[in-house]
Amino acid sequence: MTTRIVELRRGILKKNDELAAGLRGRYTAAGVMVLNLVSSPGTGKTAFLELTLKEMRARGTRVAALVGDLETDNDARRLAASGAPVRQINTHGICHLDAEMIGKHIQDWEGVELGGLDYLFIENVGNLVCPSSYDLGEAIRVVLLSVTEGEDKPLKYPTMFNSADAAVITKMDLAVPCGFDRTEALKNINEIRPGIRIFETSVKSGVGIEEWLGYLEEQRAGRGTQSERPAR
Amino acid sequence: MHELSIVSSVVDTVTESLAAYPGARVLEVRLRVGALASVVVESLEFCWEIATEGTALEGSKLVVNVLPVVMHCVPCGEDVTLEGVQSFRCPKCGEPSFDLRHGRELEIEAFEIDEMEVAEEKV
């Protein structure tokens, strides 16, 4: 028996990466800054995004959101109450959003043109593992962590935290009753992703929201919609 | 959780490449998976048999080469290998860094085929 080795050296997620690169080009051309929000289920992505959309609209900023869930359009209905255009993506069992799903939902989104937006938020499926592998062409990946989840979440899910550009701690109003060790949490986030910008927020008390909105403005003004993300 | 779709994608890619080797039987497929790739090696292996069933890859072996995280340390002026993924500090000087050079790989390195069977097919 003679055997032959065939060298391939091909990325397994090459198709997604190519589609994401195409999307990134479209976002840049349209002048829209795209953010990908990732976290565990129950961290409060939707509540955080609801307030973000509402506050940004009040300032005259043109925003829209795509929201991914396995089933139901509950989150889309909640977010739509802000008045912003919102579209639900149901993955029917798939544990993450991918570039193909985003492309498809942007393509035939009635009444929404990328060129007419300043920011597009993509709320990913609640999962701290799989979404980290799928580039959606976003300029900024935001990982959220709630005070009820434990300070060691970044150590348990290093890939997701390491691949993020900004971190948001949610439910800070519950920090005291939950015995949340803030110093430890900040240290763990920094250990996994040195130098990352961290926002400590609560949608109930409003703490940290101004700082977060300021960051969004700053990012858009500072670099337009160009992504500084390393290629994945 | 997405290991089955990753494995299916590997099977599709190798099957496409096999068009150049009609009748060949695949003996082994080698992957390179970075420590930060969010993929569980055991799950890949578990899915392999199911995903290859009824394809030209049936009965082949999956070999996963796990690569450590390598980052560039500015003070040391060199690329350093991390022992794990719990701290992104230089093991030599302790300086944190986010300048990753390796660790996110998720690729098909190569596959091995039985050429005799190709020859036999041609006869």
* Angstroms from A154 CA to nearest CA on chain B: 9
Q: What is the CATH number of the domain that holds B120?
A: 3.30.2320.50
Segment B20-43, tens digit of pLDDT: 999 899 999 999 999 999 888 999
Whether B63 and B113 map to the same domain: the answer is yes
Whether B62 and B96 map to the same domain: the answer is no
The chain A residue lying nearest B3, using CA atoms, is A130
Is there a contact between B4 and B47 (Cβ–Cβ < 8 Å)? yes
* Angstroms from B6 CA to nearest CA on chain A: 7
The parts of chain A modelled with pLDDT lower than 50 are 231-232
Whether B76 and B121 map to the same domain: the answer is no
Give the span between the Cα atoms of A88 and A66, in whole angstroms: 6
Whether B57 and B81 map to the same domain: the answer is no
Is there a contact between A39 and A126 (Cβ–Cβ < 8 Å)? yes
* Angstroms from B34 CA to nearest CA on chain A: 10
Check if CATH label 3.40.190.10 holds for domain A14-220: no
Q: Structural domain of residue B119, as residue ranges?
A: 1-67+103-123
Contacts of A163 in chain B (CB under 8 A): 36, 104
User: What count of CB pairs under 8 Å joins A to B?
Assistant: 109
- Residue A93 is predicted with a pLDDT of 87
CA torsion angle A222 A212 A88 A71 (round to 10): 130
Give the span between the Cα atoms of A31 and A191, in whole angstroms: 34
Contacts of A94 in chain B (CB under 8 A): 2, 5
- Residue A229 is predicted with a pLDDT of 57
Whether B32 and B81 map to the same domain: the answer is no
Is there a contact between B109 and A13 (Cβ–Cβ < 8 Å)? no
Classify the complex by whether its ipTM is higher than 0.90, answering yes or no: no
Whether B58 and B115 map to the same domain: the answer is yes
Helices (H), A90-143: 99-107
Chain A, window 66-125: residues with a beta carbon less than 8 angstroms from a chain B beta carbon? 94-96
